[in-house]
Amino acid sequence: MPKHPRKSGKDLKIRHNVFDEFTNRTIYKLITGGYIEGLESPLFIGKESNVFTAHAKGHDLRIVKIYRLESCDFNRMYDYIKADPRYTNIRKRRRNIVFAWVQREYRNLMIAREHGILVPLPYAFMNNVLVLECISSGDHIAPKLKDALPRNPGQFFTKVVEGMRKLHKAGLVHADLSPFNILNRDEQPVFIDFSQATEYDTHGGEAYLQRDIRNVCAFFRPLEVDADEAKVRKLITGP
C-alpha cells in the first residue's frame, strides 16, 4: 500500500447522501473539477434546495446550493423563467427548467457583481447544482438581516436602497428581496438568492420591483427609518 494513496472517486465522500444518482454524479464532477472538496455541514433546507457549506482547495469556504430534482415546483419555475426575455424559447421539460433556473441564478449573480452590487461570487453551475462564495466574516457565516438587526438601521437601509438602484441600472429586479435574502456581513448588506431575479423589462418586472420595495420598507419602518415606498422607488428608478 502506498503511504499516501491517491483518493479514488469512491473515497471522495459525498456526505449526506440524500440525493439521486444523477445529482451525486454532478456533485462528484464538481469535486473532481476542483470547485469543492466535498459537502460539509447542511446549512439550510429549503422547499426546493439544500444548501451546504464546502471547502475548496485554497481553503476558502463555499456554498453549494443543490436543487432537489424531485421537489422542484417546476410549473412555477417555468412560469417565471419563460417570462424572462433571455429564456422565452425554453421547452417545458422538468430537468431543462431546473437546469436553466440554476444557470440563470449564476448569470444574475455575475451581472450583479459586474455592476458593483455586493453578492456572493458564483464559481460554477452544473445541472441542478450551484457553487458560490460563502458570505462570512472571519469564521462566522453572515446571518440573515432578519436575524441580525443592523446597529445603524438608517445607514444600512441606505446601502440596501443603493444596491437596489444598482441592480435596476443593471436591468435586473431581484423579485424576492426581503430580510431573508439579505445577509448582514459586518453591517454591509449582501444580497443573495437570485434564482427568481429577472430582467426588469419583463412582463411583471415593475410589480416585482414594487414588491421588493414594499418588503424592504416594511422591515425598516419599525426601526424608525424613513422608509417611504414612493421616495425609495424614485431613488431606485430615477436618473
Ligand X SMILES: Nc1ncnc2c1ncn2[C@@H]1O[C@H](COP(=O)(O)OP(=O)(O)O)[C@@H](O)[C@H]1O
Distance CA 187, CA 200 (A): 28
Q: How many residues bind ligand X (CB under 6 A)?
A: 21
Smallest gap from residue 7 Cβ to ligand X (A) = 27
Catalytic one of 176, 186, 201, 212: 176
User: Is 36 near ligand X (CB under 6 A)?
Assistant: no
| Binding interface with Mg ion (CB under 5 A) | 181, 193
The single residue among 66, 120, 172, 174 that binds ligand X, judged by CB under 6 A, is: 120
Distance CA 108, CA 65 (A): 15
Residue 66 interacting partner from ligand X, Mg ion, none (CB closer than 5 to 8 Å by kind): none
Catalytic residue check, 11: no
Cβ atoms of 22 and 29 closer than 8 Å: no
Catalytic residue check, 73: no
CA distances from 154 to 28, 61, 213, 221 (A): 45, 31, 15, 10
Catalytic one of 193, 201, 212, 228: 193
**Which residue matches cell numbers 436553466?**
100
Distance CA 30, CA 11 (A): 15
For ligand X, the binding residues in 40-99 under the rule CB under 6 A are 43-44, 46, 49, 51, 63, 65
User: Is 110 near ligand X (CB under 6 A)?
Assistant: no
The single residue among 97, 193, 225, 236 that binds ligand X, judged by CB under 6 A, is: 193
Residue number, nearest CB to Mg ion: 193
CB-nearer residue toward Mg ion: 176 or 199: 176
Helices 94-114 and 74-82: angle between axes, nearest 10 degrees: 50
Smallest gap from residue 216 Cβ to ligand X (A) = 16
Smallest gap from residue 48 Cβ to Mg ion (A) = 10
Smallest gap from residue 196 Cβ to ligand X (A) = 8
Interface pattern 142-181 for ligand X (x via CB under 6 A): x-x-----------------------------------xx
Smallest gap from residue 2 Cβ to ligand X (A) = 38
List residues binding ligand X (CB under 6 A). Answer: 43-44, 46, 49, 51, 63, 65, 120, 132-135, 141-142, 144, 180-181, 183, 192-193, 195
What amino acid positions are annotated as catalytic residues? 176, 193
